[in-house]
Amino acid sequence: MTETLARPLKAGLIGAGIQASLTPAMHMAEGAAQGLSYDYELIDLQALSATEDDLPRLIADAQGRGLAGLNITHPCKQAVIAHLDELAPDARRLGAVNTVVLKGGRRYGHNTDWWGFAEGFRRGLPDADLSSTVQLGAGGAGVATAYAALSLGLRQLVVFDREPERAEALAEMLSPLFPEAEIASGRDLAAAMREATGLIHATPTGMAKYPGLPLDAELLSSRHWIAEIVYFPLETALLKEARRLGCRTLDGGGMAVFQAVGAFRLFSGLEPDAARMLDHFKAMTG
């Protein structure tokens, strides 16, 4: 009896300081479950002593070695756009790419980050009050979370960032895309939190190397829902405090898993089992 050979698939992740990423394990486990011989590699700028200027060479090398696609993370999500042939509409609107499909000698840019956050939010915070939300962080992740929340029907968004001009730029970029919503950069966090029904946290604060709370705990109230993007650790100081107060909370695992679900679909052409990928993620982080 002839044994059926598994279909080979190769992909990778380009970013800086990515050795602890759980993305390869998520992709390869789902690939194995679907009968693929899936090799997912880390292309770490730090380990290679490379920078964003090396993106053309790294992408060309991936194409030459037959990779089906690349995930893109910090600090390359904007820089990579100049080296792509086509952009999906959402990636063009967001001005950021986290997934590149390499096919037929061409490079197609997508953004599964915003969809990942939206899908995690739909599942983890159903019926959340989307009247008014404060978002902390206007960087690459913040662009995706804000776009996702507004796509879900958020009516008022106030964005804060340590660099106020970034918050202003994000509000200006999103306002014409969601004319029915009120989107602004914030100046008075305490006042905004008094009005808000929810908080989206989109900064690195709470990660192992950036411990602590991203805002004064006294600004949190049990009426707030709290959505986090940090997933290492899964229970950040913010979520711990929010749960102590009785807030409804969403950890960063949903965004991490569902962006991978979207990328797996694009790379393989197969429909991933989201529940299985969530279970695998929980096993790795539990």
- Could you give the residue numbers annotated as active site? 77
What are residue 43's phi and psi, to 5 degrees?
-115, 85
Q: Which residues of 216-231 are buried (b: 16+ CB within 10 A; e: fewer)?
A: eeebbeeebbbbbbbb
What residues have CB less than 8 Å from 5, skipping those under 6 apart? Answer: 37
Q: Are strands 133-136 and 198-201 parallel, antiparallel or unpaired?
A: parallel
* 165 CB-contact burial (10 Å; exposed 0-12 / middle 13-18 / buried 19+): exposed
Tokens of 217: 């705990």
What Cα–Cα distance (Å) separates residue 268 from each residue in 23, 34, 171? 15, 10, 35
SS3 198: strand
Measured between alpha carbons, how far is 195 from 22 in angstroms, rounded to an integer? Answer: 37
Instruction: Evaluate whether 186 touches 199 at the Cβ level (below 8 Å).
Output: no
